[in-house]
């Protein structure tokens, strides 16, 4: 837990929101850094124990589901926040993408996720793990895997390895292209990732538009970085 707090790079004067406090182990490590900590926990069965663990600690506890919180209320009091979390495997990607898209006051994230999920979030174009989450993260942030966590440190021990991913928001999106249209094209193309773009985007992108964007129509979606996707969107946009 102290390693995660250290990799998050937070300290006195910083504001940190933690998602999924559990029994408070990471929360206490974050408090030790001197940062101002707000933590979110939805499990009503854990809350009595968590409240006892955090008694007399300078922590703001929000007993809600992170998917339903009002982020303006959660982040009131500071313009810039860090998010630190051990995210549930099935919710990790949507939580990260939603925060990047809709919560600009969160400037950086340090998340522990399933290793395969972490590799997809941080993947570069052309790699085996590059996909929709990779493009959508790269649109708004820089991401890198900064550590791995063995199943041996968990009780009960999971069957998967975990990864620590650091995500830092860009000052501005990587492309000025319409983000909604970009997401549409990316989802359509990766829905048929084995096909060439001229096939997977048939009816959406013409040969002339591929040429205008400087994108080869016989490429496959994993070959395009976010800048190339942006050019393709600008060529297609009305």
Domain ranges of the chain: 2-169, 179-236
Average pLDDT score over residue span 18-25: 94
Task: Tell if the pTM clears 0.85, that is, is over it.
Answer: yes
Average pLDDT, the chain: 95
Tens of pLDDT along 97-109?
Answer: 999 999 999 999 9
Peptide bond into 187 cis (omega under 30): no
pLDDT band at 39 (very low <50, low <70, confident <90, very high): very high
Q: List the one residue out of 147, 16, 142, 28 whose CA is nearest residue 83.
A: 16
Average pLDDT score over residue span 52-68: 95
| Other Cβ atoms within 10 Å of 114 Cβ, number | 19
pLDDT greater than 80 at residue 130 = yes
pLDDT at residue 183, as a whole number: 96
- In this structure, which CATH number among 3.90.1720.10, 1.10.8.100, 1.10.10.10, 3.30.413.10 belongs to the domain 179-236? 1.10.8.100
pLDDT at residue 106, as a whole number: 98
CATH placement of domain 2-169 = 3.40.50.150
CA end-to-end distance (rounded Å), the chain = 49
């Amino acid at each position: 837990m102290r390693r995660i707090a250290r990799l998050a790079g937070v300290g006195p004067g910083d504001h940190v929101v933690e998602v999924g406090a559990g029994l408070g182990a990471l929360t206490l490590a974050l408090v030790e850094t001197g940062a101002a900590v707000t933590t979110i926990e939805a499990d009503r069965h854990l809350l009595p124990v968590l409240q006892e663990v955090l008694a007399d600690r300078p922590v703001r506890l929000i007993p809600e589901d992170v998917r339903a919180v009002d982020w303006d209320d959660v982040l009131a009091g500071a313009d810039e926040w860090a998010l630190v979390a051990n995210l549930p495997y099935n919710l990790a990607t949507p939580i990260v993408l939603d925060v990047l898209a809709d919560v600009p006051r969160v400037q950086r994230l340090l998340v522990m996720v399933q290793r395969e999920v972490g590799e997809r979030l941080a993947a570069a174009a052309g790699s085996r793990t590059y996909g929709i989450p990779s493009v959508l993260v790269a649109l708004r942030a820089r991401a890198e895997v900064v550590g791995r966590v063995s199943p041996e440190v968990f009780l009960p021990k999971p069957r998967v390895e975990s990864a620590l991913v650091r995500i830092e928001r860009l000052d501005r999106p990587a492309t000025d292209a319409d983000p909604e249209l970009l997401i549409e094209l990316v989802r359509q193309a990766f829905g048929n990732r084995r096909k060439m773009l001229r096939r997977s985007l048939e009816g959406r992108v013409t040969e002339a538009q591929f040429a205008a964007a400087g994108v080869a129509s016989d490429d496959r979606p994993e070959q395009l970085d976010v800048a190339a996707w942006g050019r393709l969107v600008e060529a297609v946009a009305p």
